[in-house]
Amino acid sequence: GAGVSQTPSNKVTEKGKYVELRCDPISGHTALYWYRQSLGQGPEFLIYFQGTGAADDSGLPNDRFFAVRPEGSVSTLKIQRTERGDSAVYLCASSFTRTGTELFFGEGSRLTVL
């Protein structure tokens, strides 16, 4: 596709449920990033992939959060036992190289935990 694609665009779930958010980066981009943005705040770093491996997962808040990128392209962010505090917009971004600092963002997945 022409840009970073994220699905679903909106997800409403109940506290304690499991959620998966998907990101399809720009073709050819080797680096993929997940950020979380709460209202009135800047994006908060979660995890960064270079190829298939997680190069830096220091932003994942706890072990309920996990992300994979098995074939070096599409990535899935997985959240177990969701809590109301997980409600936010989850942004995915990709860049051409590991040190490529122009990040191209998707439109985000808005997660609401009731």
Query: In angstroms, what is the minimal distance from the CB of 79 to other proteins?
Result: 20
Query: In angstroms, what is the minimal distance from the CB of 75 to other proteins?
Result: 14
Of residues 55 and 81, the one with the C-beta less far from other proteins = 55
Please say whether the beta carbons of 106 and 6 come within 8 A. Answer: yes
Query: In angstroms, what is the minimal distance from the CB of 106 to other proteins?
Result: 6
Please say whether the beta carbons of 51 and 70 come within 8 A. Answer: no
Q: Which residues bind other proteins (CB under 8 A)?
A: 31, 33, 35, 40-45, 48, 50, 55-56, 58-59, 91, 97-103, 105-108
Of residues 16 and 61, the one with the C-beta less far from other proteins = 61
- The H-or-E segment that residue 89 falls in is strand 88-95
Of residues 50 and 73, the one with the C-beta less far from other proteins = 50
Judged by DSSP in three states, 84 sits in helix
Cβ-count burial of 18 within 10 angstroms (0-12 exposed, 13-18 middle, 19+ buried)?
Answer: exposed
